[in-house]
Chains A and B, each alone.
Chain A
Amino acid sequence: MMISARAYGDNGKMKEYHYTGPVEHKFSPYAFNGGTVLAVAGEDFALVASDTRLSEGYSIHSRDSPKCYKLTDTTVIGCSGFHGDCLTLTKIIEARLKMYKHSNNKSMTSGAIAAMLSTILYGKRFFPYYVYNIIGGLDEEGRGAVYSFDPVGSYQRDTYKAGGSASAMLQPLLDNQIGFKNMENVEQLPLTLEKAVQLVKDVFISAAERDVYTGDALKICIITKEGIREEIVPLRKD
């Protein structure tokens, strides 16, 4: 049973219920499935983390639906928003990666994947993929890279980015802890892998406290030159 996206306010949360008279419901091809994604880039590592809850309206469809997808040995993408578009988009990206591998005999770099995704998303400018993407990986020099996108393909390279339903809560916290914004007289130490992982866990625990669409479990993909490692941490299930 798919609830029309019109029942949702513009930030994806349910609108208040009160009877305003008969309303015509048109079929809406979009639904909002919740979820939060986060990516952090370090000196020689990158992290992509997402919760694993798949919800719709007042229901939870699944507690084990992670939103990070591994693309290559050095790149992971996190997609949140409408799950149907996430699945199709990742299928298209994987197909394009294979085509590139076959015609160029090498894997796509993170920057190239980001540029390609931008054109894929803009190709549907007039019927967009309702997906908030964040790509995390290592660039050609082995440094961490994070690329954040909007649903129609505008993107840029960042050091850290949160996307999805709890993004507005997490981004300021990351600005403060990783970007050292609005802090006076602080020694700005570079971010180590252990500190970054601990920070991501704390940040998601906080998000699960206050955002209904985030919770159940947290999956962190840690990308280093040795490869991709995964960690699963339980979160609140209520």
Chain B
Amino acid sequence: MALQDVCGFLDTLDDTGPCTYPPNEMGYMWRTASEFDRDSAFHFLFPPQQCSRKNRVPTLFSSTFSSLSPHQQPFQLSHGTTTLGFIFQDGVIAAADTRASCKGLICCPTSQKIMPIHSHLVVNTSGSGADCMLWERILTREMRLYQLRHRKRLSINGAAKLLSMMLHPFKGTNVCVAATLCGWDGEETRETLNSCMEIAEVKEAVEQDTGVSTISDSALSSVKMASVNEQEILKDAYALNPAVSDQNTKNVLSFGGRSGPRVCYVCSDGLQLKGEIISVGSGSPYAYAVLDDGWRWGMTVDEAVALAREAVFRATHWDAYSGNNVDLFHITAHGWRRRDREDLKEEYYRERERKRKKIKEREKERQKREGDELGEGDIYSVHCG
């Protein structure tokens, strides 16, 4: 089948991992034309082992790789970044800086670290640039194949597991990928979209900072939807039934909500994390500080965007390896939307202006206060005169 050959259908996940090339008649490690055609991304070239291990048969892949003494690479690959992703009541925000550094030199001040995978999923990448580029492409391919085979999109958690499994053979090598998958899970049907519109209006009418109510049976039955989309159900329930209990709501979403916003972190070490706020990179401690302070489940979109922007700005200010611009994506049930790339240099100057104004105002107030106090003191006026 043509598509099967093009995708290397039987090749991809049957591979038990990267393989070494046996020398062929033409010479050492030259690939033949047929091998190029079925270019599975899992065929990597490994250098011959130099020590006295001529006839060693690799049993476990991890032991093979960790015993490979990698040749001293005289160059460094790009690292260092600030990326973040968090969920809130109206979707997911993914933000990142745009600096790609290479051990002290900025290789690229305008790299793109947030890459869309499909209409409802973007991935924030950090770690080595080439690894992230390649693994993001592989993940996109696998997710598209899943969608074609199973006629539904793979969930974010599923995508995280898939990526983690694909990276597992490379554990112990210096592949460095730390990806945050940010997206919206859930089936999209016409009814869902319509009810989203209705609920948006209702939401504006009754918007408050506290969370939404518990699911009650009457609310569920009153909303005729083809799919389980609990965000929408919850909002409608709030309109009908104003008993508020955000604790329950949060539990529902984290322990069993089948759709809604999701953030997942996958690392080439094999670590997988789920949560509400995830930040990765050398600037992440600074970003976490800002996010922890301002994050609320019930934020509006503008508040969330401002919070993400502020977090990246502060991180770029303190972290040497982050900087230049900030990219921001907002993912909702309708898909992802991208905000224009913003140069943080301008923000830095605006901040300085604001500080200067504040200092001036404080000076004025102080002088006024002192002026009032001195109003009666003759001694002082004589002294100044």
Contacts and interface: CB of A to CB of B under 8 A. Distances in A.
Contact of A122 (B70, B72, B111, B134): B134
Contacts of B364: none
Interface residues of B, number: 37
Interface stretch (A152-160, A206-214, A222-230): A152-160
B39 A119 contact: yes
B45 A127 contact: yes
A218 interface: no
Interface stretch (A4-12, A51-59, A69-77): A4-12
Given A123-B43, A150-B102, A10 B133 contact: no
Given A96-B36, A127-B47, A150 B129 contact: yes
B129 A130 contact: no
A99 B33 contact: yes
Contact of A127 (B46, B74, B78): B46
Contacts of B70: 126-127
B134 A153 contact: yes
A126 B21 CA distance: 13
8 contacts: A8-B74, A10-B74, A12-B74, A126-B68, A152-B128, A154-B129, A154-B132, A154-B133
B77 A6 contact: no
Given A96-B36, A150-B78, A154-B133, A5 B72 contact: yes
A127 B130 contact: no
Interface of B: 18, 33, 36, 39, 41, 43-47, 50, 68, 70-78, 102-103, 105, 107-108, 111-112, 128-134, 173, 175
Nearest to B111: A156
Contacts of B73: 30, 128, 130
B130 A125 contact: yes
Interface residues of A, number: 35
Given A96-B36, A99-B36, A153 B133 contact: yes
A122 B133 CA distance: 10
A47 to B, nearest CB: 20
B71 A30 contact: yes
Q: Name the 5 nearest CB pairs between A and B, nearest first.
A: A154-B129, A154-B130, A127-B47, A152-B130, A153-B130
A118 interface: yes
A125 B175 contact: yes
A84 interface: no
Contacts of A29: 71
Nearest to B31: A123
Contacts of A167: 105
A48 B365 CA distance: 61
